[in-house]
Every structure is written in structure tokens, then in C-alpha cells.
Chains A and B, each alone.
Chain A
Amino acid sequence: MVVGTTKVKRLKLSDPMIGVSLHHASPITGVKENVCRVFAENQVNLTFITTRDTHEGNSVFCCLDAGGRSVLANVLKKITTDPAMEHRVFPAVTLLSAFPHQSDLQMMFQLLRALRCSLIPVHAAASSIGALTFVIDTNLAETAVDSLQFVVGTQL
């Protein structure tokens, strides 16, 4: 069954990428700047990145394209010298974008709900001007598309 009552017209999958989650358990400054600097020095493109600084600590989630795989270990070594920096690597993630989102919060929740109800872990998500992008495991990408099509009623 496809319901398709939302304004989303397109779904788009990226090529497989590598997801990296970093969390520093104290509110020190310079964490995200350092992460981005080291990746840029190694000419690694961060296709997707979110950062959040709170009183409890600083978090960064980023996705790099497959070209970054060869330098990832070296980059992580530089970034995680501080023992308070925790990291987790997601070796094969895909960006699933739905657009246009038309700034509709209700619709965004429905997309997230569809993914969660299909037991698809969403490692990260962010809106851009026109699209909502979900970071999901590559091996679940087709299932994720099916579950969103249920809500948006559109083809990939």
C-alpha cells in the first residue's frame, strides 16, 4: 500500500560512504574544528556533517565518501589522541534524501517514524534548504526506500 499524502516528490540514495561518530565528554572548545581540519588536511570530503555542543560535551557525526577510506585510520589516530574522545565508525552507510521537504515538521516526523517502524537505525539526519537526509546502513537502503515510499508515494 502506498499512501502518498506528503509533499515529498523524490527520494535519492547516495553511493556508500563511511560514517564517523565522535563525542568528547566535556564541553571543551575546538573539538569540531579539529575534526574538520584533520579531514580537510587529508583532502577528505565530508559530504554530511552535524555538530552539537552542549554543557555535557561535544558531538560530531560525519560521512565521508569512499575515497576517504584509505586515510581514515590515520585521520582517526590524529583526532582521537585525547582519551576523552569516543568514536565509532559505521563502515557502510548511505545517505537517503527526501525532497522537497517544504519545511513541514509533521512530514519529517512521518518519514522518521516510517524508518523507525521498519526497524531501520537512523544514525544521523539533517535538513538542508530543500531536502531531508537520513544516514542509514547501506544494506538496509532498499528497505528504507520501501518504507518511505509507503509514506510519500513516490518512486526512487
Chain B
Amino acid sequence: METAARYSETKIKTYGFETKTDLCICEFNLEFEPFKQKDPWLSGTEKGTIPFEMIFLGPSGRISVVAANQHRHAVRRLINAMDSNFDDTKMHVTAPVELLYFYGPHFGDRFGIAENTLNALAQEKIPLIASACSGSSVFLVLPDNYALKAKTVFSILYDVPQTVQPPPFSGLGPSARHRRREGQQ
């Protein structure tokens, strides 16, 4: 399969797949308040980082945050702190959801990766709630109990390196590792 002008692979290589379970997706519109002279957020006095797993937003301006289900109330508190007029009832939470993500070399510069990924899920009838391909990463938000199934599908579709292939110039360079290997033979 040709994946870009610069790449030609029979099977697209990735660095492997990661899954996360028991997550929620919180979706909301946010009116940010202007920065103040002594803004607690900017001065670093406002503590309490909330880890996210994935964030995306589209032209409607609606923000989607995927985070551990246990953090959903902390997400709500943070939003309330950012926007004092925020209407809690306007935040839509879907849970539990799962996440599968992977990345590969120069994924962002190559065509066909998104198509390959979405088609594979559709063929296996794995529903997809949301997705984002940015940088060299692909993130997929799936309903509960689907991440492992998707991972199995992708493990066949994509090439996950299992061994380190020796480069063509092995032994020509001053590689200590190669020297050790030669010494063992």
C-alpha cells in the first residue's frame, strides 16, 4: 500500500496501540472570561491540574474533553472556575467510553491512514463516537467494551514492530552493541 509520495509500505507501521477504559467524554460550550491583572491561573497560584486523555473541538466551538470517569466532577469544577456564568445543565457527559490511540512515523504527512482506520472499524461494525488525527497520532473514542476489539482489528491491519531489525550498515559503525554481539558469536 502506498501511503504517501515518500512512503511505500505493504503494511503501515505503527509504534503499537494503547487503550484506556472507564473514561467519560464531557462536551460543552465555554465563554472564557478575559485575563485579569492578577489572574490566579496565569500566576500559577491556581493549583489542581486535571489530566485529560484527549481534547478536540470543531467549528461549532463545542469543546469535547475525554478524561477518566473519576475526573468528571473536577472537569465541571474547572469549567465553572473559568466561566462564572457556565450553565451546568449544558454540559453533556457520555460514560463510560474507551479510548484507543496509536501513532506512527510521519503519520501527519501521509494520506490513507484515516481512511484505513475508519474503514477497518466500519467493516467490523465497531461504532466510533469520535476521532482525531493530529500530529502523528490517531485517537479513537469508542463505546464501552470496544477498545480491545478495535485493538485486535488494528493489530492485524497495521504492522507493530516486535523486534529490532538490524540496519543495513550494521557492523560498519562503531556500535558497542554490535561489537558485543560479534564478541558473543
Binding site for B on A (CB under 8 A): 3, 5, 21, 29-30, 32-33, 36-37, 39-40, 43-53, 59, 61, 88, 97, 103-110, 112-114, 116-117, 122-133, 150-151
Q: Which 4 A-B pairs have the closest CB atoms?
A: A128-B135, A128-B137, A126-B132, A113-B32
Query: Across the interface, do B32 and A112 meet the contact criterion of CB distance under 8 Å?
Result: yes
> Chain A's interface: helix, strand, loop or mixed, by majority?
mixed
**Nearest CB of A to B170, in Å:** 30
| B54, CB-defined interface residue at 8 Å | yes
The contact of B52 among A36, A105, A122, by CB within 8 Å, is A105
Asked if A104 and B57 make an inter-chain contact with CB atoms under 8 angstroms apart, the answer reads no
Shortest Cβ distance from A78 into chain B, in angstroms? 14
In the bound complex, what is the Cα–Cα distance between A63 and B55 (angstroms)?
17
Chain A residues near B128: list those with CB within 8 A: 32, 51, 53
Residues of B within 8 A of A (CB): 4, 30, 32-35, 41-44, 46, 48-61, 63-65, 67, 75, 78, 82, 101, 103, 108-112, 114-116, 118-119, 122, 127-137, 139
Query: Which chain A residues border B82 with CB–CB below 8 Å?
Result: 109, 113
Minimum CB distance partner of A44 in chain B: B111
CA distance A147 to B51 in the complex (A): 24
| Nearest CB on B from A51, distance (A) | 5
A108: B residues at CB distance < 8 A = 52, 55
Chain A residues, Cβ within 8 Å of B57: 50, 122, 124-126
CB distance from A131 to the nearest CB of B (A): 5
Most buried by B among A36, A133, A150: A36
Chain A nearest Cβ from B117, distance in angstroms? 8
A43–B51 Cα distance when bound, in Å, is 36
A140 to B132, CA, bound (A): 24
Does A50 contact B52, Cβ atoms closer than 8 Å? no
Out of A37, A47, A103, which one reaches B108, CB within 8 Å?
A: A47
Complex interface: chain B residues within 8 A of A51 (CB):
118, 128, 130-132
CA distance A21 to B103 in the complex (A): 24
Are B35 and A39 closer than 8 Å at their CB atoms? no
Distance between Cα atoms of A46 and B107 in the complex (Å)? 10
Residue from A52, A114, A130, A131 whose CB has the most chain B CB atoms within 10 Å: A52
Cross-chain pairs A/B with CB under 8 angstroms, 12 sampled: A21-B58, A21-B59, A40-B112, A104-B50, A105-B50, A122-B57, A124-B56, A126-B132, A127-B55, A127-B139, A129-B101, A129-B103
